[in-house]
């Protein structure tokens, strides 16, 4: 194997490592927020779907517990759905980039 061939292999490997590092950084930076239609509840989740923030307007005090629980759950679910879309995009970008390296 020639020195040129080895340089090409090392170059491709370095490119792939860079792609993986970019994807990892992208996955770690995912945050998605969603608010209820009434804006009484806002939820934020990370790229793994973990709840990282929950904000509630003072007007929630007028809601019964079941309604509030449903509002929190549906809002958090929407934030998780948005984070999943972002995660899917990062992974698609990585997959597409690997096809060109």
Longest Cα–Cα distance in the chain: 76
Query: Would the pTM of this model clear 0.75, i.e. be above it?
Result: yes
* Residue 29, burial from CB neighbour count under 10 angstroms (0-12, 13-18, 19+): exposed
pLDDT, tens only, 45-84? 999 989 999 999 999 999 999 999 999 999 999 999 999 9
């Amino acid at each position: 194997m020639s020195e040129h061939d080895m340089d090409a292999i090392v170059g491709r490997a370095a490119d792939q490592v860079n792609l993986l590092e970019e994807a990892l950084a992208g996955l770690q930076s995912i945050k998605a927020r969603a608010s209820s239609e009434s804006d009484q509840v806002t939820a934020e989740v990370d790229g793994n779907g973990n709840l990282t923030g929950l904000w509630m307007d003072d007007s929630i005090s007028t809601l019964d517990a079941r309604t509030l629980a449903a509002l929190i759950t549906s809002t958090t679910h929407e934030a998780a759905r948005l984070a999943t879309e972002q995660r899917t995009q990062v992974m698609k970008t990585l997959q597409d980039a690997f096809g060109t390296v």
